[in-house]
């Protein structure tokens, strides 16, 4: 493949990288006259997607709509783009399912909580990137998580996204049958992130496996849900097994995120801050201000990565 020039910021940085399109793995899409991205309130006939999104190089996703709006405002300032960061508009304002902000070559999108919610968003995002003819896109999930043997505030870069049995796989039921997909993430992006984390002060960061569950309470071995069918000792035993299998945090989207990106040829990384150490408890007791500061940590790391890639930091 011929190398292309990444120079989407209009700056002087010239970085040769391999051209890498976003693949959709669905022949039906090529015979459709129109594709309506229903949950984004966008479509191929109603919107000029290449013009609106063709220059996107970095997509950052996270559960909360407010967090992803704050991230859009933050990255706007970090990239020193013209205009007022308070004026950035929600591209998906026609729907309240997800929010989406475009800031130069960066797209910031919320995905809600859990595998079904992020999976719907990813189907439409990947089709959007395909219709817009985007190239060389890196996708990041910026999230929160429960730490496994890590103090609150630690940032975890996911090595492998694993399921409840600590295996790096995602099971999707299709026409009543289970399809298994690999959840490998991009090693190069993860090691670059880890390297940069050491250049940023006060950003405790580790690389480790991330366990993805389908529930915040029983599914993550919490004793404080409305239902609980196990003892404190059984909870600790499960967490110890997870730790021994390399799990350092628990959240609710990483396996499907990794699986869908891999199938579609998109480089992806998961960066989540731990809000608590699950060996010490289940309730999230830190103050609002502390939690806001923790949630900014993955954003600071990814912003640094983006600025490095764009040549804005030496």
Name the residues that contact ligand R1P, by CB under 6 A.
62-64, 113-114, 143-144, 216, 251-253
Using CB atoms, what's the residue nearest to ligand R1P?
A: 63
Residue 250 interacts with, from ligand R1P, ligand URA, none (CB under 5-8 Å by kind):
ligand URA
Residues in the chain: 314
User: 297 labelled as ligand-binding?
Assistant: no
The position carrying tokens 């809600």 is 112
Of residues 8 and 153, the one with the C-beta less far from ligand R1P? 153
CA distance 39 to 128: 12
Of residues 39 and 131, the one with the C-beta less far from ligand R1P? 39
Least separation in angstroms between CB 255 and ligand R1P: 11
Of residues 70 and 254, the one with the C-beta less far from ligand URA? 254
Residue 153 interacts with, from ligand URA, ligand R1P, none (CB under 5-8 Å by kind):
none
Least separation in angstroms between CB 276 and ligand URA: 6
Of residues 22 and 258, the one with the C-beta less far from ligand URA? 258
Of residues 258 and 310, the one with the C-beta less far from ligand URA? 258
- Read off the DSSP letter of residue 204: -
In angstroms, how far is CA 288 from the centroid of its own chain?
Answer: 22
Residue 146 interacts with, from ligand R1P, ligand URA, none (CB under 5-8 Å by kind):
ligand URA
- Read off the DSSP letter of residue 163: -
User: 142 labelled as ligand-binding?
Assistant: yes
Contact 271, 158 (CB under 8 A): yes
Least separation in angstroms between CB 47 and ligand R1P: 27
CA distances from 245 to 153, 170, 232 (A): 22, 17, 20
Residue 164 interacts with, from ligand URA, ligand R1P, none (CB under 5-8 Å by kind):
none
Of residues 146 and 298, the one with the C-beta less far from ligand URA? 146
Q: What string of DSSP letters covers 262-306? A: HHTT-EEEEEEEEEEETTT-SS--S-HHHHHHHHHHHHHHHHHHH
Least separation in angstroms between CB 163 and ligand R1P: 14
Residues of this chain that bind ligand URA (CB under 6 A): 144-146, 216, 220, 250-252, 275
Sequence-distant (6+) residues with CB within 8 A of 52 are 91, 102, 132
Contact 127, 40 (CB under 8 A): no
CA distance 29 to 23: 11
Contact 67, 295 (CB under 8 A): yes
Least separation in angstroms between CB 207 and ligand URA: 19
Q: What string of DSSP letters covers 15-76? A: EEEE--BPPP--GGGGG-S--EEGGGTEETTTS-HHHHHTT--EEEEES-HHHHHHHHHHHH
Of residues 92 and 118, the one with the C-beta less far from ligand URA? 118
In the three-class reduction of DSSP (H, G, I as helix; E, B as strand; rest coil), residue 236 is classed as helix
Contact 45, 37 (CB under 8 A): no
Residue 149 interacts with, from ligand URA, ligand R1P, none (CB under 5-8 Å by kind):
none
Least separation in angstroms between CB 249 and ligand R1P: 10
User: 181 labelled as ligand-binding?
Assistant: no
Least separation in angstroms between CB 282 and ligand URA: 8
Binding residue ranges for substrate: 220, 222
Binding residue ranges: 97, 141-144, 220, 222
Binding residue ranges for phosphate: 97, 141-144
């Amino acid at each position: 493949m011929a190398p292309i020039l990444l120079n989407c910021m209009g700056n002087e940085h010239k970085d040769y990288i391999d051209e890498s399109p976003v693949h959709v793995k669905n022949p039906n899409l090529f015979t459709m006259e129109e594709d309506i991205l229903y949950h984004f309130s966008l479509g191929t006939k109603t919107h000029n997607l290449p013009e609106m999104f063709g220059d996107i190089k970095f997509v950052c996703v996270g559960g909360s709509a407010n967090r992803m709006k704050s991230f859009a405002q933050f990255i706007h300032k970090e990239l020193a783009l013209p205009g007022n960061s308070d004026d950035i508009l929600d591209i998906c304002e026609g729907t309240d399912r997800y929010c989406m902000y475009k800031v130069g070559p960066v797209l910031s999108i919320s995905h809600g909580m859990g595998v079904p919610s992020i999976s719907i968003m990813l189907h439409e995002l990947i089709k959007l990137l395909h219709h817009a003819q985007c190239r060389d896109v890196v996708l990041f999930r910026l999230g929160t998580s429960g730490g496994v043997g890590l103090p609150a505030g630690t940032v975890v870069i996911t090595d492998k996204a694993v399921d409840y049995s600590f295996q790096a796989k995602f099971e999707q039921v299709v026409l009543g049958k289970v399809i298994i997909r690999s959840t490998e993430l991009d090693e190069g992006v993860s090691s670059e992130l880890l390297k940069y984390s050491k250049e940023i002060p006060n950003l405790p960061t580790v690389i480790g496996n991330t366990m993805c569950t389908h529930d915040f309470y029983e599914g993550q071995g919490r004793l404080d849900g409305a239902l609980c069918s196990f003892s404190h000792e059984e909870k600790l035993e499960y967490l110890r097994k997870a730790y021994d299998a390399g799990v350092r945090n628990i959240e609710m989207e990483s396996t499907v995120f990794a699986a869908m990106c891999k199938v579609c040829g998109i480089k992806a990384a998961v960066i989540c801050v731990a809000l608590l150490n699950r060996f010490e408890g289940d309730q999230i007791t830190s103050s609002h201000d502390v939690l806001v500061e923790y949630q900014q940590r993955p954003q600071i790391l990814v912003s640094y990565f983006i600025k490095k890639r764009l040549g804005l930091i030496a």
